Structure 1
Amino acid sequence: MSYCAGTNKATVSVYVSDSIFEKIVSTSPPIDITLVHGQPAQVQGAGLDVANCGQLPNYGIYEYDGFVTFVSINVATPISNPAGFCAGSKPAVNGVTTPGINDVYHSSVQIIRQYSSDWVLSVIDANGKTITRKYPTEPRYEISCNDDCPEGSHKCTHKKYPGYCCVPCKEVGDRLKNMANKVGR
């Protein structure tokens, strides 16, 4: 979803544990925001050709939901191969070597990105610039356009920088209701 179309500035206030953790400012709105929990590990490599102990042409990217390491393996080869085995590697996810008859044996492989259980917030502006941040817990965010207050709040002016503050309407309304109930008793 796009935010702040037709404005000059978009501000994303990111909250962790109900306090502002950081503000991400874009001067090229509109902006799009994505929030994703966890990123799979990405491994790039080529399969092992057991027939000749070479590399298969299936060089590609594989994803695993867990922390990836590689285990050195020896794979039995056809009788035509005098060595009797090919050396390669096999992924282990969270310490467990991947099982099965459709195993992925690699002749060459590298980890592009390791698994992360963090929350990843990405802000993409109209120019395609992406700002990405990771958080250990799920963040909450609010968007304001042209220094206006986010939806559900009221802008109050004062003498301190930046010359205004945003007061959350629901929170203030709840406090007023609570005071009125106490006075009415």
Structure 2
Amino acid sequence: MSYCNSGDKVTVTYVFGDKQTSVFKTSQSPIEVATENYQDNSTSNFDANGFQITFNSPQGQYGTITAVVTDYSIEFYDFGAFHPYTGYYINLVRCGETSFPPITEGDKGAKMSDLNLTIDRTVKCPIVRSTSGLCEIKVLVGGKTIFSAHGKCPVTFDVACGDDCPEGFCKCKSLGYPGYCCLDCAVVASEIHSITQSLKIKNNGR
């Protein structure tokens, strides 16, 4: 889903499971916001449900390799201009595994004949890979990530365009840039109620 119009200043207010409110501001717009599970030792290709990947490889039967995985990474290794081992290698996290296998002198993954690969997300692992219990939020512009953060699940967010505050937040004047701040209305109301109750107790005690 796209948020804000071109030229708008954008404020993304997000809250992880620890209930601490954080804010990200950008002058780039429109933006997209994505939330997903966060996994240490993983790439942006990670999918806990798994997917089928097929690529060309001289190491595979009939010149191709097909595997069901939860993640993959591709690296280029240079052993010299005409060395037969120079080229791109793909490393896979197969179903049931929780991390990439170690890269060693003799095993850098599967050598790729080229960078072409196909992914079939209708094929999944029989068991969903367990996650770290962390969630990630990403802000994207034109499909490219310009900001990301991770914390305890779940994660919720609101987006405000221009000088507005997100729904549920109060706009208050501020001495610092940009001249205002957005406060959580529910938190402010709770603090006011707490102060009022404390005053009532003190007054009744006189």
Inter-CA distance 54–128: structure 2 relative to 1 (3 Å threshold): closer
Deviation at 1:23, TM superposition (A): 1.5
Q: Say whether residues 1:12 and 2:1 are aligned partners.
A: no
Gap runs ≥5 in structure 2: 39-45, 73-92, 100-108, 113-129
Q: Say whether residues 1:153 and 2:154 are aligned partners.
A: no
RMSD between superposed Cα atoms in Å:
4.3
Inter-CA distance 23–175: structure 2 relative to 1 (3 Å threshold): same
Kindly indicate whether the alpha-carbon contact (under 8 Å) linking 2:4 and 2:29 is maintained by their aligned counterparts in 1.
Answer: no
Q: TM-score, normalised by structure 2?
A: 0.49
- Separation of aligned partners in 2, 1:9 and 1:35: 21
Inter-CA distance 157–169: structure 2 relative to 1 (3 Å threshold): same
Letter in structure 2 aligned against 1:93: E
Letter in structure 1 aligned against 2:137: L
Deviation at 1:7, TM superposition (A): 6.0
- Separation of aligned partners in 2, 1:124 and 1:11: 13
Inter-CA distance 45–130: structure 2 relative to 1 (3 Å threshold): same
Kindly indicate whether the alpha-carbon contact (under 8 Å) linking 2:136 and 2:148 is maintained by their aligned counterparts in 1.
Answer: yes
Letter in structure 2 aligned against 1:108: A
Partner of 1:27: 28
Partner of 2:41: none
Partner of 2:194: 178
Gap runs ≥5 in structure 1: 68-89, 96-106
Partner of 1:81: none
Letter in structure 1 aligned against 2:8: N
Partner of 1:133: 148
Partner of 2:102: none
Inter-CA distance 134–6: structure 2 relative to 1 (3 Å threshold): closer
- Separation of aligned partners in 2, 1:62 and 1:132: 30
Identical aligned residues as a percent: 26
Inter-CA distance 93–45: structure 2 relative to 1 (3 Å threshold): farther
Letter in structure 2 aligned against 1:149: C
Kindly indicate whether the alpha-carbon contact (under 8 Å) linking 1:10 and 1:144 is maintained by their aligned counterparts in 2.
Answer: yes
Q: Which has the higher strand share?
A: 1
Q: TM-score, normalised by structure 1?
A: 0.54
- Separation of aligned partners in 1, 2:172 and 2:23: 21
Q: Say whether residues 1:168 and 2:174 are aligned partners.
A: no
- Separation of aligned partners in 2, 1:61 and 1:18: 40
In our comparison, the structure showing a higher alpha carbon Rg is 1
- Separation of aligned partners in 1, 2:185 and 2:160: 15
Deviation at 1:44, TM superposition (A): 6.4
Letter in structure 1 aligned against 2:150: Y
Kindly indicate whether the alpha-carbon contact (under 8 Å) linking 1:13 and 1:143 is maintained by their aligned counterparts in 2.
Answer: yes
Inter-CA distance 19–136: structure 2 relative to 1 (3 Å threshold): closer
Partner of 1:93: 97
Q: Deviations over 1:80-113 (max 9, x none)?
A: xxxxxxxxxx957249xxxxxxxxxxx9368xxx
- Separation of aligned partners in 2, 1:176 and 1:134: 31
Q: Deviations over 1:159-178 (max 9, x none)?
A: 33331122221112222333
Q: Deviations over 1:143-172 (max 9, x none)?
A: 221132221111111333331122221112
Choose from 61, 65, 77 the match for 1:55: 61
Deviation at 1:119, TM superposition (A): 2.5
